[in-house]
């Protein structure tokens, strides 16, 4: 069994891995992100980043988590019903800064963690969706 | 009694602004907090307001040292969305540019590290050598910092006389093998200032997810050029230097050995430069709806770009950049714990930080 197949089995995924856009994607269904982080730790996968996507209209956000396993880029997508998701910082030290950045730039909350003072834009107000701020300033031009 | 010593955001030991608040007991650092964001420009958000040509010029300005790498990673992502494969000659030219950029970045770092060691002669020597690398980059691209080399489907400029570039590289390699590497690896000034300080253990390096030379100097043999080859790296023979000690000496040795490996790759790529086009000619393309992700081994480690596009849209829907220093910098906290205060400028410099990359 390959490491990817083992991960899929551990997560109880029903769909196979799909290679698309340079990433091996796995639909994790109802598995939460903390369980995923624990399994990635078991496989000694290296955490890379979280990418936040603001969906059109009022559809909320989607977070994509990426790990590296022996040079293979793994991706897991989590649509957010509200504006929050569980933090993996205590399980994955490397996720600290990117969770703080997404909190500051998109006003999303990572539950179960404390936020230190602003990582980017020190002294500015937290909880502003910077993407909207940039869009408005570009429109004014 | 403990007391707080702030270093930065503007400090003689820092090339760019960031802040390290160190809690000290006597001369020993017992804890530290990092503050970044002084160079925050909102580039990821700005990218969503630029078209597929403008966004290349914008992302080239994320970093002044690895500007080529940023456009390479971006273009690879956009090529994935457009279904374009650059011609073989373009892939070789990309490899040559990437290795020249690694050389000038490592030599720049060596110069700054020498300055922080109090080794001014070595600083001047490194910068003199770096000028020669910049000359080669200028000879190929016409530019010294933002090279404007990458485009969707290849590169903008050809290497018309690889033999002339090869001669310049050989002269450079000789000079580095004769001066920089022996002095850094054997002189008492360098070894006494670097050995045993700023240690990042293999376990801590793995848990922090560090990348690039810092990871390799902590015993983690990761290098995307080997693990997930891009451009023409699959056709190159080279070693990935790894050192287990995790201290500043190990980081210095890894970069010194990487300089020689870069020269090895350059010699191969210039000798085997395939004939043909250096970009796709007149080919119409359109972006499909979706996300394409690309990773490249920059001088400081892995850079990752995720680019999303909606079919028919003028601009990208999202451009996310994960830079190497963003992954490495949090580990400084662990490197300075237990260190002497006087060693902290050199320790933080030993990761070769790029604050512009980090803040974007």
Q: What is the pLDDT of residues A72-95, one digit of tens each?
A: 999 999 988 788 889 999 899 999
Specify the pLDDT at position B118.
79
Task: Determine whether the interchain pair A120/B322 forms a contact, defined as Cβ–Cβ distance below 8 Å.
Answer: no
Rounded Cα gap, residues B99 and B85, in angstroms:
21
pLDDT band at A141 (very low <50, low <70, confident <90, very high): low
**Is B10 at the interface with chain A, CB within 8 A?**
no
The whole model's pTM is what? 0.88
Specify the pLDDT at position A46.
93
Rg, C-alpha atoms of chain A: 16
Contacts of B247 (CB under 8 A, 6+ apart): B194, B195, B196, B197, B198, B199, B217
Q: Give domain status of residue B31, yes or no.
A: no
Q: Which domain holds residue B304?
A: 51-337
Q: B interface mutation test: which of A68, A69, A136, A141 has the most B CBs within 10 A?
A: A68
Task: Determine whether the interchain pair B292/A22 forms a contact, defined as Cβ–Cβ distance below 8 Å.
Answer: yes
Q: Is residue A135's pLDDT more than 70? A: no
pLDDT band at A140 (very low <50, low <70, confident <90, very high): low
Contacts of B81 in chain A (CB under 8 A): 21
Q: How far is A108 from chain B (nearest CA, A)?
A: 16
**Low-confidence stretches of chain B (pLDDT beneath 50):** none
Mean pLDDT of A13-40: 87
Ramachandran region, residue A29 (left: φ > 0; alpha: ψ -120 to 50; beta: rest)? left
Specify the pLDDT at position B349.
84
Specify the pLDDT at position A5.
86
Task: Determine whether the interchain pair B48/A130 forms a contact, defined as Cβ–Cβ distance below 8 Å.
Answer: no
Specify the pLDDT at position A56.
78
Measured in residues, chain B has a length of 360
Q: How far is B355 from chain A (nearest CA, A)?
A: 12
pLDDT band at A123 (very low <50, low <70, confident <90, very high): low
Specify the pLDDT at position B42.
82
CATH number reported for the structural domain that contains residue B120 in this entry: 1.10.645.10
Task: Determine whether the interchain pair A131/B45 forms a contact, defined as Cβ–Cβ distance below 8 Å.
Answer: yes
Specify the pLDDT at position A6.
87
The answer to whether the beta carbons of residues B129 and B176 sit under 8 Å apart is yes
Rounded Cα gap, residues B207 and B106, in angstroms:
25
Enter the ipTM. Answer: 0.86
- Element spanning B183, H or E: helix B181-186
How does the average pLDDT of chain A come out, rounded?
83
> Which residue, B106, B111, B34, B32, is CA-closest to B358?
B34
Query: Distances in Å between the alpha carbon of B291 and those of B51, B80, B209, B312, B360?
Result: 16, 9, 24, 14, 20
Mean pLDDT of A44-56: 90
pLDDT band at A112 (very low <50, low <70, confident <90, very high): confident
Exposure string of B236-261, with b = 16+ CB inside 10 Å and e = fewer, is: bebebbbbebbbbbbbbbbbbbbbeb
Q: How far is A31 from chain B (nearest CA, A)?
A: 23
Task: Determine whether the interchain pair B290/A53 forms a contact, defined as Cβ–Cβ distance below 8 Å.
Answer: no
Query: Distances in Å between the alpha carbon of B90 and those of B286, B295, B309?
Result: 20, 18, 24
Q: In chain B, how many domains are there?
A: 1
Task: Determine whether the interchain pair A71/B227 forms a contact, defined as Cβ–Cβ distance below 8 Å.
Answer: yes
Mean pLDDT of A98-106: 85
**Superfamily assignment of A3-140 in CATH?**
NADH:ubiquinone oxidoreductase Nqo5 subunit (3.30.460.80)
Q: Which of A49, A71, A92 sits opposite B322 (nearest CB)?
A: A49
Task: Determine whether the interchain pair B45/A20 forms a contact, defined as Cβ–Cβ distance below 8 Å.
Answer: no
- CA quadruple B126, B127, B129, B133: dihedral sign: positive
Q: Is residue A119's pLDDT more than 90? A: no
Q: How many CB pairs under 8 A join A and B?
A: 96
User: Domain-by-domain residue ranges, chain A?
Assistant: 3-140
Mean pLDDT of A96-108: 85
Q: Is residue A122's pLDDT more than 60? A: no
Specify the pLDDT at position A127.
58
**Is B302 at the interface with chain A, CB within 8 A?**
yes
Task: Determine whether the interchain pair A117/B294 forms a contact, defined as Cβ–Cβ distance below 8 Å.
Answer: no
Specify the pLDDT at position A121.
60
pLDDT band at A120 (very low <50, low <70, confident <90, very high): low
């Amino acid at each position: 069994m390959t490491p990817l197949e083992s991960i899929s089995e551990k997560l109880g995924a029903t769909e196979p891995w799909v290679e698309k856009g340079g990433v091996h994607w796995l639909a994790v269904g109802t598995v939460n992100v903390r369980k995923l982080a624990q399994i990635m730790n078991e496989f000694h996968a290296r955490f890379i980043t979280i990418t936040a996507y603001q969906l059109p209209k009022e559809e909320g956000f989607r977070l994509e988590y990426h790990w590296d396993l022996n040079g293979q880029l793994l991706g897991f997508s989590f649509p957010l019903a509200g504006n929050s998701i569980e933090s993996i910082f205590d399980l994955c030290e490397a996720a600290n800064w990117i969770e703080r950045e997404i909190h500051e730039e998109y006003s999303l909350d990572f539950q179960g963690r404390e936020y230190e003072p602003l990582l980017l834009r020190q002294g500015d107000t937290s909880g502003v969706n910077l993407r909207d701020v940039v869009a408005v300033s570009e429109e004014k031009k | 009694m403990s007391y707080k010593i702030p270093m930065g955001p503007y400090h003689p030991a820092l090339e760019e602004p960031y802040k390290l608040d160190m809690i000290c007991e006597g001369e020993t650092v017992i804890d530290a907090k990092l503050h970044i964001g002084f160079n925050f420009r909102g580039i990821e958000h700005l990218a969503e307001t630029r078209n597929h040509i403008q966004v290349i010029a914008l992302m080239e300005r994320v970093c002044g040292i690895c500007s080529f790498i940023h456009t390479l990673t971006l273009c690879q992502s956009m090529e994935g969305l457009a279904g374009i494969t650059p011609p073989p000659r373009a892939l070789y030219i990309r490899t040559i540019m990437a290795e020249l950029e690694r050389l000038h970045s490592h030599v720049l770092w060596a110069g700054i590290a020498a300055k922080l060691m109090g080794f001014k002669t070595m600083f001047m020597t490194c910068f003199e050598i770096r000028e020669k690398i910049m000359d080669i980059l200028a000879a190929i691209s016409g530019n010294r910092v933002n090279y404007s080399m990458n485009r969707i489907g290849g590169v903008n400029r050809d290497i018309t006389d690889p033999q002339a570039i090869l001669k310049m590289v050989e002269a450079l390699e000789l000079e580095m093998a004769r001066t920089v590497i022996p002095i850094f690896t054997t002189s008492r000034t360098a070894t006494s200032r670097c050995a045993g300080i700023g240690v990042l253990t293999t376990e801590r390096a793995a848990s922090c997810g560090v990348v690039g030379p810092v990871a390799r100097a902590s015993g983690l043999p990761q290098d995307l050029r080997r693990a997930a080859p891009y451009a023409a790296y699959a056709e190159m023979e080279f070693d990935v230097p790894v050192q287990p000690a995790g201290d500043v000496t190990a980081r210095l040795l890894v970069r010194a050995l990487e300089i020689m490996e870069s020269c090895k790759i350059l010699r191969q790529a210039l000798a085997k430069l395939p004939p043909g086009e250096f970009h796709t000619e007149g080919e119409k393309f359109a972006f499909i709806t979706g996300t394409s992700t690309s990773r490249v081994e920059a001088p400081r480690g892995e850079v990752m770009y995720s680019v999303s596009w909606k079919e028919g849209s003028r601009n990208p829907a999202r451009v996310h950049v994960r830079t190497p220093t963003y992954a490495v910098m949090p580990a400084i906290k662990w490197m300075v714990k237990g260190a002497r205060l006087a060693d902290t400028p050199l320790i933080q410099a030993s990761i070769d930080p790029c604050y512009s990359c980090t803040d974007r």
